[in-house]
Structure 1
Amino acid sequence: MADSPIEREQSPPADTPLLVSSQPPLDQLRRSNGGGGGESVDANDDDLDRTMQRLETFLTFLGFNQSSALSFVLSWMAFFAIGVALPVTVLELSHCRGCEKYQYKNFELDIVVSQACLAGVSLICVSHNLRKHGMRKFLFVDQLSGRMGRLKDRYIKQITASVRLLAVWSFPCFALKAAREIIRILYVTHDSWWLSVAILLSLILSWTYLSTIFLAASAMFHLVCNLQVIHFEDYAKLLEGESDISLFIYEHIRLRHYLSKISHRFRIFLLLQFLVVTASQFITLFQTTVYSGRITYINGGDFAVSSVVQVVGIILCLHAATKISHRAQAIASVASRWHAVMSCTSSDSSTPMRASPSGGSLDFTNQLNALPIPIDYSESDLESLDYVRMPTNNNPHFASYMSSYHKRQAFVMYLQTNPGGITIFGWTVDRHLINTIFFIELSLVTFVLGKTVVFGVE
C-alpha cells in the first residue's frame, strides 16, 4: 500500500522536494515571478544561517539550550540562583526603616513566586523542544530544503522582526521596574547607601532575568506561528492560477500537519501559561482588595509592573495563534473565490456555449427540454429540481469542463471541512476561544470583588 503524504513527510531526505508527486513542485508554478540564480540562493542560505546562529546564541545565553548534561545543569543552577534564591534572600534578610509601614515584603514574595513559575514553565517547554528537535526543525526551516530561495528572505525578516519585538516590549518593562525600585529605595532606606544600591541591583537583575525568559518563550511561539503565516500567504497566492488540484491538496495536508506539530509542542506551554497568569492575577486582586492599608506605588508597584509583563506575554501568544488560525481558515474563502472565477471564465471548453436571454445555456436548456421527464412547475423550485436528472453529454469538451469543475468543487469542500489552526487539546485558538477566556477572567474578577469589597464594607 502506498504511503500517505503525511507518512512520507516524517522522514524526508535532505534533497526531497516539498511535495513528493509526479507533478512538478509548486515552486515551478512560480518561476515566472523570479526565482533567482544559484548564487542568490547560496547567499540567502548564508544569511539565514547567520541569523539562526545569532538567535541560537541569544537563547543559549538565556539558558534555553540544554542539549548536553553540562548545559542543562548550568542552566537550572543559574535559574534557581538568580531567579529564586537571590530575590528571596534579599527580601528576607534585608532590614529597612519603614518596611512594616508599607508591608511590601509579603507582596513582593508572591510576585517572585509567580514570576519564577512563569519563567520555569517557559524554560522547561522551550528547552525541551529545542533539545528534541534542534533550532532549524523547531522553526520548520528545514522544510525549505526543496524550495527556491524566494521565502528565505521573508524568513530572515520575520526572525529579525520577532527579536526586535522582544526588545521593544522588554525595555519599557525594564524601565518601569527600574523606576519603581529607585522610588522605593528613596522612601524605604536601609542602614547604608551601598546596601540599598546592592538590593536595588539584585532585585532588578533577578526580575529582568525571569521576565526576559518568559517574554523570550512567548516571542519564540510568536515567531514559529508567523513563519507558518508566510507559507499560508504563499499558498493563497498559488491559487491565482489554475494547476493540478492534487498538488494543492497535498500542500494543504502538509501545512495542516505542521500546525498540528506546533499545537502539540506548545499546548502544555500555552495551557500552563494561561493557568499561572490567571492564578497570579487572581491572587494579586485578592491581596490588594483585602489589604486594609493604603496601596501605593511603593508597596504595590510591582503588581502593576509584573501584570504588564504577563499581559504582554499572553498577548504575544494569543495574537500569533489567532493570526495563523485565521489565515488557515481564510484559505477556504480564497479557494471559493478562485473556484468561482475559474468557473465563470474557464477556457477548458474550446466551443463556448450559447447563452440564453435568461442567463442560462441554450445547449443545456435544449437538452433539458428534449428529456421525456415530467416536471411539475406548480411545486416549489427546490421540489421541482428533485425530478430533473442531469443529462448525459458525450461532448468531450463539456466532460473536461465538468471534470475540472468537480475537482475544484471537491477541493473547496475539503478546505471548508478542514480549516486547521492552532489548537489546545482540541480547542482552536481563535476569536471564539478569546471571548471565552475573557468571560472566564471577568467572572473571576467579579467573584473576587464580591468576596472582598462588598463583604468588607458590610
Structure 2
Amino acid sequence: MAAPNSSTTQTPLIQTETPPLQQEDVEVNDTQLSKSLDRLETFLRIFGFCQYSFLRFSLSWFCFLLLCVALPLFIIQLSYCSNCEKYEVKNFELEILISQSLVAAISLLCVSHNLRKYGVRKFLFVDGQHGHLAEFRREYIQKIHGFFKLLGVWILPCFLLKAAREVIHIVYAHQSWWQSVGIVVALLVSWTYSTIIYLSGSLLFHLVCNLQVIHFENYGKLLERDLDVSVYIEEHVRLKHHLSKISHRFRIYLLLEFLVVTATQFMSLLETTGNYGIINFINGGDFAVACIVELVGMVICLHAAAKISHRAQGLGSVASRWHASITCSSNGASQLGINSNVGSLEAANPSSSIPISYSESDLESGDYVPMATNTQLASYMTMYHKRQAFVTYLQSNSGGATIFGWTIDRALINTIFFIELTVVLFVLGKTITFTTK
C-alpha cells in the first residue's frame, strides 16, 4: 500500500472540490480537534486506560482490583445476613461480581494494550494523514463528542436502576443507617467505575468504526470527480487496510466479551430458573442490571461493526452505478450524430465539440459529423475497461469488520441471535418443567 509519500495523488483526491478554507478557520478546527482528543485522552487517563509507564500500569490495575474486586467482595461479606435468605442469595452476588469484573478487566486490558502501542491519534486513525485534512475535522469532533453523549445516555438509566435496587435491598436488610449509607455509596462507586470501564471499551470500538465510516461515505463523492481509476483503487486499498487494522486490534476484545456476556446470560438464566427459593427484585435485581449493561455493550459493538461492514460492502454497488452512469451517458452523443464510442471522450472535453442540431431532412448533415479517430476510440475503450476492472475489483473485495475471518454483518448477527435463542430455549426446557399425575 502506498505510504504517506503518495501525497501527490491523495491530497487532490480529498481536497479538490472542497472550498478553500481561510487559514483562521483551519487553525480553529485543528485547535478544536486537538482539544477534543486531549479531553478524550484525559478521560482515558482517569480510568486507567493510558498505561504508558510501569507506574501508570501498576496504579491502574491496583485501582481496578481495589474498586472492582476487593471493595464489592468485602461489602458482600460484611452486609450478608444469614437470616435474610428470602431477600439475599450470596451466590447471586458473587457470580454477578465475577461477571462484572471479567468484562471490565477484558476492556481495560485490550484497550490499554492498544493505546500503549499506538497512542490515541494512531489508535483512532486521526493522524497526520487524516487528522490534518480540513474536510473531516468537524466530523471527527462531532464523533468524539458523541462518545461522551452515548456513554452518558446509557450510564444514567442503568445507574438509576442500580441505585434503586441497592436502596430497596438496604431497607429490607435492617442495618444501621450510617452503615447502610456507606454500603450503598461504596457499591455504587464500585459499580460505576467497572461499568464505565466496560462501556468505554465498547464505545471506543464504536468511535473508531464511526471515524472510518466518514471516509467510506465520502468515497462515493470521490467518484464524481474526474480522477484516474488508479487513484480510486489506491484510496480503497488504504481504507481496506485501516479496516483490517481495526479488526485485528479488536478481535480478541470482541471475542472474549461475547463469550463472557453469553456465559453471564446463561448463568443468570440457570440461577433464576433453578433456584427453589423466592426470586424477586431485591435478591435477583442485580442479574437484570448486569445483563442489561453487558448486552448494551455488545449491541454497541455489533452495531458499529455491522455499520462499517455494510458501508464497505456498499461501495461495489456505488461504483457499479457510477460506471453505468458514465457509460450510458456516452449514448447521448449518438443523438448528435457522433459515434457512441467517443461519447465519453467528447463529454470529458466539452470544448472540443460544438452541439449542432440538424433536421431529419438535411441529407448533407453527415458531412459535418466529426469522425472518431482510432486514437479516440482506443482511449475510450481503455477507460471503459479500466472502469470495468475497478468495479470488478470492488465487488470482489468488499471486506468489512471481521473476527478471525468472519465478517460482522447482518448475516452473522442473525446467526448469533438464533444460536443464543436456541440455547436459551434448551436451558428453559431443562429447568422449567410441568409434571402431571
TM-score normalized with structure 1 length? 0.84
CA apart distance, 1:299 = 0.6
- Of residues 228, 231, 237 in structure 2, which corresponds to 1:253? 237
| CA distance 1:352–1:272, shift in 2 (3 Å) | farther
Residue 133 of structure 2 corresponds to 148
Q: Once the 2 structures are TM-superposed, how far is the Cα of residue 102 of structure 1 from its aligned partner?
A: 2.3
Counterpart amino acid of 1:409?
A: Q
Residues 84, 312 of structure 1: alpha-carbon distance in 2 compared, 3 angstrom cutoff: same
Shift of 1:456: 8.3
**Distance in 2 between the 1:89 and 1:23 partners?**
58
How far off is 1:163 after superposition?
Answer: 1.3
Residue among 424, 430, 436 paired with 2:415: 436
Gaps of 5+ in 2: 342-371
Corresponding residue SS for 2:86: helix
1:203-282 → structure 2 map (5 Å cutoff): 203-282=187-266
What is the RMSD of the two structures over their aligned residues, measured on CA atoms?
2.4
Contact kept? 1:318, 1:429, Cα under 8 Å:
yes
2:29 paired residue number? 44
Query: 1:303 aligned to 2:267?
Result: no
Offset of 1:97 from its aligned partner?
7.2
Find the counterpart in structure 1 of residue 375 from structure 2. 396
Counterparts of 1:103 and 1:204 in 2: how far apart (Å)? 18
Give deviations 1:55-97, integer Å, cap 9, x for gaps.
0001111110100111100100000000000111110122437
Contact 1:97 1:188 in 2 (8 A): no
CA contact (8 A) 1:239 1:338 kept: yes
Q: 1:333 to 1:194 in 2, by over 3 A?
A: same
Q: Which residue of 1 aligns with 2:78?
A: 93
After TM superposition, give the deviation of residue 21 of structure 1 in Å: 4.8
Matched, 1:104 2:89: yes
- Residue 25 of structure 1, CA deviation: 3.1
- SS of the residue corresponding to residue 420 of structure 2 reads helix
- 1:176 positional shift: 0.7
Q: Cα 1:271–1:23, aligned 2, differ >3 Å: closer, same or farther?
A: closer
Aligned pair in 2 of structure 1 residues 183, 56: CA closer, same or farther (>3 Å)?
Answer: same
Determine if the alignment matches structure 1 residue 67 to structure 2 residue 52: yes
2:122 is equivalent to residue 137 of structure 1: yes
Query: Structure 1 residues 52, 22: CA separation in 2 closer, same or farther (over 3 Å shift)?
Result: closer
CA 1:457–1:216 in 2, change beyond 3 Å: closer, same or farther?
A: farther
- Asked if the contact 1:158/1:227 (under 8 Å) is kept, the reply is yes
Residues of 2 paired with 1:162 and 1:51: CA distance? Answer: 11
Equivalent position of 1:324 in the other structure: 308
Partner of 1:420: 399
Q: Deviations over 1:155-194 (max 9, x none)?
A: 001110121111111111111100111111112222x111
**Matches for 1:155-174 after TM superposition, within 5 Å:** 155-174=140-159
Q: Does residue 25 of structure 1 match 2:12?
A: yes
Is the 1:349–1:401 Cα contact (8 Å) retained in structure 2?
no
The residue that corresponds to 1:126 in the other structure is 111
Using the alignment, how far apart are the partners of 1:236 and 1:20 within structure 2? Answer: 20
**Aligned positions of 1:366-405 closer than 5 A:** 395-405=374-384
Contact 1:329 1:419 in 2 (8 A): yes
Cα distance, 1:330 vs. partner? 0.6
d(CA) in 2 for partners of 1:24 and 1:150? 11
Identical aligned residues as a percent: 56
Question: Is it true that 1:341 corresponds to 2:315 in the alignment?
Answer: no
Distance 1:294 1:29, change over 3 A: same
**2: CA distance, partners of 1:23 / 1:395:** 33
Q: State the one-letter code of the partner of 2:385.
A: H
Cα distance in 2 for residues equivalent to 1:146 and 1:294: 57
- For 1:450 and 1:145, the matched residues in 2 are separated by 53
**Residue 377 of structure 1 corresponds to which residue in structure 2?**
none
In the TM superposition, what whole-angstrom CA distance separates every residue of 1:108-152 from its partner, at most 9, and x where no partner exists? 111010000000000000000000000000000005458531110
Contact 2:51/2:60, CA 8 A, preserved across alignment: yes
* AA in 1 matched with 2:420: E
Shift of 1:394: 6.2
The residue type equivalent to 2:187 in the other structure is L
TM-score (norm 2): 0.88
Q: Which amino acid aligns with 1:306?
A: A
Query: After superposition, what is the alpha-carbon deviation per residue over 1:305-351, rounded to whole angstroms, capped at 9, x for unaligned?
Result: 11110111011100100000000111111111111111111499899
Measured in 2, the distance between the counterparts of 1:146 and 1:347 equals 42
Give how far 1:105 is off: 2.2
Structure 1 counterpart of 2:189, which letter? L
2:302 is aligned with what amino acid?
Answer: L
Letter of the 1:156 partner, please give it: I
Is the Cα contact below 8 Å between 1:325 and 1:428 reproduced in 2? yes
Distance 1:89 1:28 in 2: 59
Q: Relative to structure 1, is the Cα distance of residues 96 and 23 closer, same or farther in structure 2, using a 3 angstrom cutoff?
A: closer
Deviations 1:4-47 (A, max 9, x none): xx2x43xx4xxx5xx4456863024324xx13132221211111
In the alignment, structure 1 segments of 5+ residues that lack a partner are 1-5, 362-392
SS in 2 for 1:240: coil
Closer/same/farther in 2, CA of residues 63 and 455 from structure 1, 3 Å limit:
farther
2:7 and 2:218 mapped to 1: Cα distance?
19
State the partner residue of 2:66: 81
Question: What secondary structure, in the 3-state scheme, does the structure 1 residue paired with 2:85 have?
Answer: helix
8 Å contact 1:27–1:147 — kept in the other structure?
no
Task: Report which of the two has the higher share of helix.
Answer: 2
Q: Which deviates more from structure 2 when the two are superposed, residues 95-104 or residues 437-446?
A: 95-104
CA distance in 2, matches of 1:171, 1:204: 12
Whether the 8 Å CA contact 2:209–2:308 is kept in 1: the answer is yes
